[in-house]
Structure formats: C-alpha cells, structure tokens
Amino acid sequence: MNVKPIALGIILSLAIMAVPIVSSPQANADDGLDLIPVEQVTFSWAPFKETTKYKFVLAKDAAMTQIVKEAEVMGTSYVYEGTLEYSTNYFWRVMSLEPAPSDWSATMSFRTEAAPPQPAEPQTQTQPISWPLALTIVIILTILLSAGLITWLVAVRRNKAA
C-alpha cells in the first residue's frame, strides 16, 4: 500500500518535467515596466533532461501561426538577431528535439518597448519688425537711393557737357 503513493509521486514528477521550462523573457507587469527592447532579445530556458538540441519558435500570436522565427538550438538560450516591432506582443516556446522530442513548453508572452519619441523639428519664429526699425530702414534706403540718383544725374550732366 505504501508503494502506490510513492510510485504516483514519481509518475507525477516525471509528468510535470515532460517539457522544457522557459524562463525569460516573461509576461510584462501590468504597470508597463519590464518592456523588452526590440533588438538583441535573448530567450532562455532551463536544461531539460539530457537534451542536446531544442526547437525555438517566436510568433506574433498565441496560436503560434504568425511565425517570426523558428530555430534549432544546441544550448538553453537563443539570441534573436533581428529587430522586433515596437509596442507589440510576442509569444514564444521551445521543445526538446534530441535525443528525444518533448511536448512544447508553456507559451510565454512579452511586449516590446514603445518607439522612442521623434526629435522635435526646430521651429524658426520670425519676429515682426517694429515700426521704429521699419521707419529707420525706409529713411536709410531713401537717402541711399537719393544719393545714388543725385550721383547719376551729375554723371549724366557731365557726360552731356563734355
């Protein structure tokens, strides 16, 4: 009679350990912290039995139909070299391939960081010209034009006289 509970415990322990245990990245907190960067994302999981090769899958949906990346991995981590989209939910899972295949791990999800704010374009503001300044400019231009006109008239008269 004492053998059955122990045997049942061993069977339950083996059943619980029938898939790899994924560790990071994990679901984001509700407060918006721990958002995952869009580049160089590292996925990791606990070693599973004597597994030498795993299958890694990254997708955009929980059903794992919108596949972003599939890879066969020799270790217990995978670095995604591509660039993920900003403010997007992603889903991932792994399974043992060799020496014996396992079922899929639990599907984990995470959200990527928001896009950085675009730098504001510098705004040039034109200042309206003040009336005293405008009047000064008009007076100076009038004097210069008058001086130029007088000089021209003198030159024309000299040429006629000659």
CATH number at residue 99: 2.60.40.10
Same domain membership, residue 93 and residue 142: no
Question: Which residues fall within 8 angstroms of residue 12, CB to CB, at 6 or more apart?
Answer: none
Which phi and psi (to 5°) does residue 113 adopt?
A: -65, 160
pLDDT at 5: 44
Same domain membership, residue 49 and residue 97: yes
Return the closest-CA partner of residue 112 out of 40, 42, 36, 59. 36
pLDDT at 112: 93
Three-class HEC string of the chain:
CCHHHHHHHHHHHHHHCCCCCEEECCCCCCCCCCCECCEEEEEEECCCCCCCEEEEEEECCCCCCCEEEEEEECCCEEEEEEECCCCCEEEEEEEEEECCCCCCCCCEEEEECCCCCCCCCCCCCCCCCCHHHHHHHHHHHHHHHHHHHHHHHHHHHHHHHC
Q: Does the residue 77 lie in any domain?
A: yes
Q: Does the residue 143 lie in any domain?
A: yes
Same domain membership, residue 51 and residue 92: yes
Angle formed at CA 88 by CA 83 and CA 89, multiple of 5 degrees: 110
Same domain membership, residue 45 and residue 106: yes
Q: Which residue has the tokens 């029938």?
A: 18
pLDDT at 1: 42
| 97: containing domain | 11-111
Same domain membership, residue 94 and residue 57: yes
Same domain membership, residue 23 and residue 72: yes
Q: Does the residue 144 lie in any domain?
A: yes
Same domain membership, residue 98 and residue 18: yes
pTM for the full predicted model:
0.61
Which phi and psi (to 5°) does residue 128 adopt?
A: -65, 145
Going from the first residue of the chain to its last (162 residues), give the mean pLDDT of each consecutive group of 10, the final group possibly shorter.
41 52 66 78 92 96 96 96 95 94 93 90 75 80 76 69 64
Which phi and psi (to 5°) does residue 98 adopt?
A: -130, 140
Same domain membership, residue 149 and residue 102: no
Task: Count structural domains, the chain.
Answer: 2
